[in-house]
Chain A
Amino acid sequence: MRLLLRTVRPIGVLVLAFLASVAFIARAEAEDAAGQIRDETLIGALVNAALDMAGEADDLKRAEACRRLVAMMAEDLKKSVKNGQLDRAAALAMQIEGLLSDGVAANLRSAQAAVKGSGRQAEIDRIAVDVTRLSDQLTHLADEPPGSQSAEFRRALEGVHKARVAIEQALVPR
């Protein structure tokens, strides 16, 4: 019996090692495929947003196009944090900051300046509330692990918070 056990043990180690390596490869491939699908989704959204904004003269419509992009990228960022891909999450946070500053805040500022008599204040407020709430959700990710463990990610989220402040200031009547 002992001899049997001693013979079976190395074979068991072999089988387990083989299964572990197969599982490792399968998981890596699944992660690659999932990452590729996420990239493809973002690329499609970015192209469509660019086409929408290219001929668009309306500030609020451009702000809305940017808001939709930010919402999509924020979802990807949350997934990245959940998967421990903090490099990707930090890179996405930096891109979101740019879109919030140049896309949302700048367009809301010009829309706010021209709001008198346009009756579009509610539309401006809705976009502003939406993106500030989204920004707050993102900045909270820096307060707890795994987000809190990456200095780069925390710095990127500080940028998102600054852009959020800029959006609030854009709504202040001048």
Chain B
Amino acid sequence: MNCRSYQESLLKLDLPDQAPAELQSHLGGCEQCRELQRRLVLLQNSVKQLPLPAALSRLEFLQRFLSADAADLANGTLTAGAAEPGAMPLPATTIPDPARLKKPPWNWYTGMALAAAMGLAVVAITLLRHEEIVPPVPGSGGLNPMIQRLVACNRRLAHGASAQTQVEALADMADDLFVEAQRHARSEPREVKAMATLFDQVVKVGVLKSAARLPPERRRSILAPIIDRLSRTAQEAEAVAIKSDSQAAESLRRLADVAREGVKELRQLAGE
């Protein structure tokens, strides 16, 4: 046997000071193993000196346990009673009971999450909703005012109107179409194109043909203000076209060309 085997035998002994003969003879010649035995004996003696709770019968222990309150259990006074000497109190609870742990403020977390959600929604709206560059139609009551004006034009024409009323109503209609084209110039080239096409029809098919039905002697007085308006429309359409994107600009320039052609034809009809 070597020292390691003797030390294991020593550790297994209930009473290390009462080693068997073989182990005793080894201890006599081995300083290291003798030191281990000395420490084990010292430990054994120390344990004997520890204060012990007064012994309780099982029945007595149960009675005390059942009648004890939480403070007694925590202080370790259950087994021996507060007045009994030698009672060893239980160590103070250094690790808190999970149930006593401070709960995380989930309500705050949820509130913060909601606030962040609202912030995110604002960001999403800002990012996804393109800039409103089509000016809103004022006081429309849910209906584009241009539609109301066009209905009014139709009502004027529905009566079997005179040539003067016809040409004036259709010139008003051309003005409205230009205003609508202008309103969409920055964002809706498709709308601008549609309005320019309608403007073309109104001027060429409507205004010029109605103007031709006017009595020659009254043409100049009736057509002069219409010529002025169409000239202004041509200029404004060119000006708006400069600020618009290429597709809308093309439609607006076409509209301006139509207005200029209209002015030219009307001047001829008016004898200017």
Interface residues of A (CB under 8 A from B): 6, 9-11, 13-14, 16-18, 20-22, 25-26, 28-29, 36, 39-40, 42-44, 46-51, 53-57, 59, 62, 65-66, 69, 80, 85-92, 95, 98-99, 102-103, 106-107, 110
B110, B140, B152, B169: the one contacting A91 at CB < 8 Å is: B140
Residues of the A chain whose Cβ atoms lie less than 8 Å from the Cβ of B205: 51
- Chain A residues lying within 8 Å of B11, measured Cβ to Cβ, are none
CA of A10 to CA of B121, assembled, Å: 15
Q: How distant is B173 from chain A, measured CB to nearest CB, in Å?
A: 6
Stretch in B63-71, B93-101, B153-161, B236-244 touching the partner: B153-161
Specify which chain B residues have a CB less than 8 angstroms from the CB of A51 in the assembled complex.
170, 201-202, 205-206
15 pairs across A/B with beta carbons < 8 Å? A13-B117, A17-B114, A17-B121, A21-B125, A36-B188, A40-B194, A44-B198, A47-B173, A49-B154, A50-B169, A87-B143, A91-B140, A98-B155, A99-B151, A110-B160
User: Which residues of chain B come closer than 8 Å to A69, judged between CB atoms?
Assistant: 151, 154
> Chain B, 254-270, contact with A by CB distance < 8 Å: what is the 0/1 string?
00000000000000000
Residue on A with the closest CB to B165?
A: A54
| CB-based contact B118/A17 at 8 Å | yes
Interface residues in chain B, defined as those with a beta carbon under 8 Å from any beta carbon in chain A:
104, 106, 109-110, 112-114, 116-118, 120-121, 124-125, 128-129, 140-144, 146-148, 150-155, 157-161, 166, 169-170, 173, 177, 180, 188, 191, 194-195, 198, 201-202, 205-206, 209-210, 213
Contacts of B210 on A, CB cut-off 8 Å? 54-55
Are B141 and A87 closer than 8 Å at their CB atoms? Answer: yes
Cβ A103 vs Cβ B141 within 8 A: no
Residues of chain A within 8 A (CB-CB) of B128 are 22, 25-26
Establish whether residues A99 and B154, one from each chain, have CB atoms under 8 Å apart when the complex forms.
yes
Q: A21-B120, A21-B125 are in contact. List 15 more A-B contacts (CB 8 A).
A: A17-B118, A17-B121, A25-B129, A26-B128, A36-B191, A46-B150, A50-B150, A50-B173, A51-B201, A54-B170, A54-B209, A54-B210, A55-B209, A91-B143, A102-B159
Name the one of A29, A42, A57, A85 contacting B142, with C-beta atoms under 8 angstroms.
A85
Q: Is the CB–CB distance between A95 and B148 below 8 Å?
A: yes
Shortest A166–chain B CB gap in Å is: 14
CB proximity of A88 to chain B, nearest CB, Å: 3
Tell me whether chain B's interface is mostly helix, strand or loop, or mixed. Answer: helix
- C-alpha spacing A69/B158, complex, angstroms: 12
Chain B residues in 8 Å Cβ range of A43: 144, 146-147, 150, 177, 180, 194-195, 198
A86 (CB) vs chain B CBs: closest residue: B142
Residues of B within 8 A of A91 (CB): 140-143, 148
* One of B118, B124, B147, B206 near A39 (C-beta < 8 A): B147
Considering the chains assembled together, what is the distance between the CA atoms of A80 and B140 in angstroms? Answer: 15
Candidates A25, A50, A89; contact of B206 at CB < 8 Å: A50
Q: What is the CA–CA distance of A48 and B153 in the complex, to the nearest angstrom? A: 12
Q: Output the nearest chain A residue to B128 by Cβ-Cβ distance.
A: A25
Q: Do the beta carbons of A102 and B201 come within 8 Å of each other?
A: no
In the A-B complex, the 5 residue pairs with the smallest Cβ-Cβ separation, listed nearest first, are A87-B142, A10-B113, A17-B117, A88-B142, A91-B143
Q: Which residues of B contact A87 (CB under 8 A)?
A: 141-143
A53 to B118: give the CA distance in the assembly, Å.
55
Q: How far is the CA of A43 from the CA of B106 in the complex (A)?
A: 57
Chain A proximity of B110: nearest CB distance (Å): 6
